[in-house]
A and B are shown apart, each in its own frame.
Chain A
Amino acid sequence: MTAASITVSETPLVLYTLRRADDALILGHRLSEWCGHAPAMEEDMALANMGLDLLGQARELYTHAAKVEGQGNDEDKFAYLRDVRQYRNLLLLEQPNGDFARTMTRQFFYAVFADLYWRAMMASRDTTLAAIAAKAEKEFAYHVRHSSEWMIRLGDGTEESHRRAQTAIDDLWAFTGEMFSVDDAERGLIDAGIAVDPATLRSRWLKIVSGVLHEATLILPENDWMQKGGRDGRHSEHLGHLLSELQSLPRTFPGAMW
């Protein structure tokens, strides 16, 4: 017996909230894959801690989405009982960990964005989202500092660490544009003061990212072709593998408790 996927009434606010919840869950899950494998004890704890921050944010966002939706779904159903096409996270965040430089580059690109984003979201007219934002922005402030320091150490480190960091930047760059994209569903929420327009954060993001990369002696890619699709459920093959691991137990043993 396996549990079937739920259906979700994706009103704009439900969809919006699920997108952010999925971002947090998927990146948090990726970071948790490092547990026990990081290059040093301190890093193992750091990655697990950041994963925990993200998992906590995901839980609060899913709970809010469930309340807004009002169809009897909850955080567990959203996480465990939606299939890959129902996931709404950014493509950047589902990309495999790769080496440590790749994980840090993904973290750096996203944390700089998320810190700016949630700080702006503290002014949301949705008081629950504003409260979640107030916590998340402080958590991301630490993630930004951590990943920035690593970018500099890797880029300005050995020839090999520099090469690995630059390769990760070049490979992941095309996934950064999706962070700033807006569709009609979100445009209405932005106009209503519930959501923030991420496009307004792009120049500040670029300034921070290029500043750190410059200090790290790393090069910011110039190509501006950007890959999109995650927000609409069109994912890379990597997300399916991630979800099959994440969901296997609750799908196989519905309602299992321990």
Chain B
Amino acid sequence: MNTVNDTDLQQRAWHAASQVVDPEIPVLTIADLGVLRDVAVSDGHVEVAITPTYSGCPAMNMIALEIELALEREGIRNPKIRTVLSPAWTTDWMSDDGRRKLRDYGIAPPQVGSGRRALFGDQHVACPQCGSIETEVLSEFGSTSCKALWRCKSCREPFDYFKCH
């Protein structure tokens, strides 16, 4: 109906939603992660579409709540948060900026190419502390669903690796 206002509302809603961070990796926004898929407005009502990273990711409920709060702070009432499963999220959707922020935070970013080769081929994961690729995996499963536990053989520090998906 009022397309000018709807466009403005859509932009404000997207901006507010895109600032929401992952509760488990607070340096990454849901836009960096590729979890925020769409913000649509019709007749003044906002609908935000998000996609889960991992099937069992417990952060998704928290993220949905945070989006609602962020929009409320923008004065946007009763937004609808919708979960979309298709197409399935992959680590390839993580932005370059997101990868850099992750590395600065001390987590090795996922390798690009989430196919089975990345999952099962030789992995060369650079240490986020010293940059060495003399690293080894300690456990495929780390402190959260998205991470594996690695160790650097050069600087001897353990680190998290955001694993390919």
**Residues of A that sit less than 8 Å from B by CB:** 42-43, 45-46, 48-50, 52-57, 59-60, 127-128, 130-132, 134-136, 138-139, 141-142, 145-146
Complex CA–CA separation, A60 to B57 (angstroms): 12
Interface contact A45-B141, CB-CB below 8 Å? yes
**Other-chain contact of B85, A48, A60, A145 (Cβ < 8 Å):** A60
**Other-chain contact of A132, B85, B119, B138, B140 (Cβ < 8 Å):** B85
**Other-chain contact of A136, B55, B58, B89, B149 (Cβ < 8 Å):** B55
Interface contact B139-A57, CB-CB below 8 Å? no
Closest to B116 in A: A141
Interface contact B141-A127, CB-CB below 8 Å? no
Contact residues in B for A127 (Cβ distance below 8 Å)? 86
Complex CA–CA separation, A174 to B163 (angstroms): 35
Complex CA–CA separation, A141 to B145 (angstroms): 14
Contact residues in A for B143 (Cβ distance below 8 Å)? 45
Interface contact A138-B119, CB-CB below 8 Å? yes
Contact residues in B for A55 (Cβ distance below 8 Å)? 55-56
Contact residues in B for A142 (Cβ distance below 8 Å)? 119, 140-141, 163
Contact residues in A for B116 (Cβ distance below 8 Å)? 141
Interface contact A56-B57, CB-CB below 8 Å? yes
Distance in Å: Cβ of A253 to nearest Cβ of chain B? 21
Closest to B164 in A: A138
Known A-B contacts A127-B86, A141-B120; A46 and B56 likewise in contact (beta carbons under 8 Å) = no
Closest to A133 in B: B88
Interface contact A53-B56, CB-CB below 8 Å? yes
B52 at the interface (CB under 8 A from A): yes
Find residues 26-63 in chain B having any chain A CB closer than 8 Å to their own CB. 52, 54-58
Interface contact A46-B86, CB-CB below 8 Å? no
Contact residues in B for A60 (Cβ distance below 8 Å)? 55, 85
B87 at the interface (CB under 8 A from A): yes
Query: Is chain B's binding surface mostly helix, strand, loop or mixed?
Result: loop
Interface contact B141-A146, CB-CB below 8 Å? yes
Closest to A52 in B: B56
Interface contact A138-B142, CB-CB below 8 Å? no
Distance in Å: Cβ of A138 to nearest Cβ of chain B? 5
Interface contact A131-B120, CB-CB below 8 Å? no
**Other-chain contact of A57, B55, B88, B163 (Cβ < 8 Å):** B55
Return 14 A-B CB contacts under 8 Å, by A number: A42-B141, A53-B145, A54-B56, A56-B55, A57-B56, A128-B86, A131-B86, A131-B88, A135-B52, A135-B54, A135-B85, A141-B120, A145-B120, A145-B140
Known A-B contacts A45-B139, A46-B140, A142-B119; A130 and B56 likewise in contact (beta carbons under 8 Å) = no
**Other-chain contact of B138, A42, A56, A146 (Cβ < 8 Å):** A42
Please list the 10 inter-chain residue pairs (A to B) with the smallest Cβ-Cβ separation, ordered nearest first: A56-B56, A56-B55, A131-B86, A134-B88, A52-B56, A131-B85, A46-B141, A42-B139, A49-B141, A57-B55
B165 at the interface (CB under 8 A from A): yes
Distance in Å: Cβ of A66 to nearest Cβ of chain B? 14
Complex CA–CA separation, A135 to B165 (angstroms): 8
Complex CA–CA separation, A134 to B92 (angstroms): 14
Closest to A41 in B: B139
Interface contact A131-B142, CB-CB below 8 Å? no
Please name 10 further chain A to chain B contacts, defined as beta carbons within 8 Å, in addition to the given A128-B86, A134-B87, A135-B52, sorted by A numbering. Answer: A45-B142, A45-B149, A46-B140, A52-B145, A53-B56, A132-B55, A132-B85, A136-B55, A145-B120, A145-B140
Complex CA–CA separation, A141 to B88 (angstroms): 16
Contact residues in B for A56 (Cβ distance below 8 Å)? 52, 54-57
Complex CA–CA separation, A141 to B116 (angstroms): 8
Contact residues in B for A130 (Cβ distance below 8 Å)? 86
Interface contact A139-B86, CB-CB below 8 Å? no
Contact residues in B for A50 (Cβ distance below 8 Å)? 141
Closest to A119 in B: B116
